[in-house]
Structure 1
């Protein structure tokens, strides 16, 4: 059951980060708009749906685990007790409501800055709700508040990255040969250079804060001796990959696309980006 709980949580994390980072990317990277981005609303709707489905499945599985009885997950009173009487339940409820409202907005509102702003705001609530049951929530006083704030910022910064990558993948694979759209993509890549670098800085800083609380400076050399330590090393590897991608974008991809536009050969530059 633990593996299923982890899988449900991973689905929620992925959906929430795309739901947050992709519309945010449209706001700071594509202020001029881009045609041929009809994939955006379906992608975000799918992400919101993943959060909804993952939340329900996660609630059922976690309730069964907490009660020590698989049948408890289908008992209305037990489920309501978990939802109304625990931080976990409150987090799931907030997450579900925010994702549901985002899904309605995506169906009812035309694509544009207003929709991206609303979706980003709601997705912020979705991501922040995970911190309600994180390590920081288990601590009291100022230390607990600092740890919880670091958790939230860590999740948001990761969402900036994952959502931007999803948006860039969509833009690069969409059918476009319009010069205006290629120029918009260039502006987006240039914008992501700065925002992505800032996101990495936040991830590093908040990661260090979390490690200080969870590992402690006295045990840093034994970091590989625990499951958490091994997971932290994996995250460090992902961080190195993020740095490499950010550097590649800043020093190669964006300048190459700019050169292609200047030379009147944007298609060749786009092919290189892909």
Structure 2
């Protein structure tokens, strides 16, 4: 059951960051090409379609599983009265209900709208609200009063900042993969501009992640000696998450200060850009794999009592 719950949480996190961060990347990094429905982004509609469908199924599975756990009987997972009580009587139920409605909205939009500005805006809005809803199904909803408000705000900022970064990685990975097949000079120039635009946004994202991460750590870990923190499963997994995040930062810095300028120099000098795009492709792929690892850990951490609750 724990493995199933963690898997469902991971699917929802991964789908939410794609639904929010990828179309947002289109808007701030690709500009007019995204707004007007450039052919280079037709694949984005399929990405949003699959992401919203995965969110819908994941939220439904989460609701059924949580109902069974709360009722203490797997057979109650599909009991209408038990489902109604969870949906209308718990913060988890309200958040999950909102997630279901928003996933249906995003899926409908991806089925009916063309891959241009209206679709991207609807997806970004739905994705942002879905990401924020995870605050009420995790540790961010534990405290009450002013502390609870502060923790919830910090958690939302952390989730949205992560969505911006990880969703952009999904979009960049696809664009770089498609560029391996002899992309035109115009397409490569657009890719280079997108990378530069993402670099500027990335600095703000990292600052938001660090600041909100420190606030969340204050609530979930506190000022305890490292040996006490690492004596708990939560502390060990949190440390691994921080290490993965640090590696992602190193790769992001290499992309910004070395690999992206390298592609720019190759395009400006009329040289073969294939080596530069191959380097970027490998770097973004590794960064994406690390991001998947972070999401797996986040999915597990949400199921474990934090250090502050164990000591």
Bin for the TM-score computed over the shorter chain: over 0.9
Q: After the TM superposition, which of the residue ranges 201-210 and 215-224 deviates more from structure 2?
A: 215-224
> Which residue number in structure 2 is paired with residue 108 of structure 1?
112
Give the one of 44, 66, 73 matched to 1:69: 73
Match of 2:53 in 1: 49
In structure 2, relative to structure 1, the CA distance for the partners of 1:204 and 1:97 (3 Å cut) is: same
Within-5 A mapping of 1:131-146? 131-146=135-150
Partner of 1:271: 278
* Alignment match, 1:173: 177
Q: In the alignment, which residue of structure 2 is the partner of 1:205? A: 211
**Matched-pair contact (CA < 8 Å) for 2:263–2:273:** no
Q: Counterpart of 1:233? A: 239
- CA offsets, 1:206-248, max 9 Å, x none? 1111110111113455211112111211220121012112211
Report how far residue 114 of structure 1 moved: 2.4
The 3 A distance-change label for structure 1 pair 30 and 176 is farther
Indicate conservation of the 8 Å contact 2:29/2:198, yes or no.
yes
| Separation of aligned partners in 2, 1:128 and 1:15 | 14
Q: Which residue of 1 is the match for residue 64 of structure 2?
A: 60
Quick check: 82-91 or 222-231, which moved more? 222-231
Is residue 17 of structure 1 aligned with residue 23 of structure 2?
no
Q: Rate the CA distance shift 1:266–1:131 in 2: closer, same or farther, 3 A.
A: farther
In 2, Cα distance between the equivalents of 1:236 and 1:206? 13
**1:188-267 superposed matches below 5 A:** 188-265=194-271, 267=273
Deviation, 1:179, is 2.1
Native 8 Å contact 1:98 1:122 kept in 2: yes
Per-residue deviation, 1:136: 2.5
Instruction: Sort the Cα spacing of 1:134 and 1:115 in 2 relative to 1 into closer, same or farther, 3 A.
Output: same
Structure 1 alignment gaps of length 5 or more: none
2: CA distance, partners of 1:191 / 1:138: 37
Q: 1:104-159, CA deviations, whole angstroms, 9 ceiling, x for partnerless residues? A: 11111111122212210110111111101222212111110010011111111111
Report the Cα distance in structure 1 between the residues aligned to 2:186 and 2:143, rounded to whole angstroms.
51
CA distance in 1: counterparts of 2:143 and 2:108, whole angstroms: 36
**TM-score between the two structures when normalised by the length of structure 1:** 0.95
Give, in whole Å, the separation in 1 of the partners of 2:160 and 2:101.
19
Q: Structure 2: where are the runs of 5+ without partners? A: 282-311
Cα RMSD between the aligned structures? 1.5
Runs of 4+ in 1 over 6 A off after TM superposition: none
Contact 2:255 2:280 in 1 (8 A): no
Shift of 1:180: 2.0
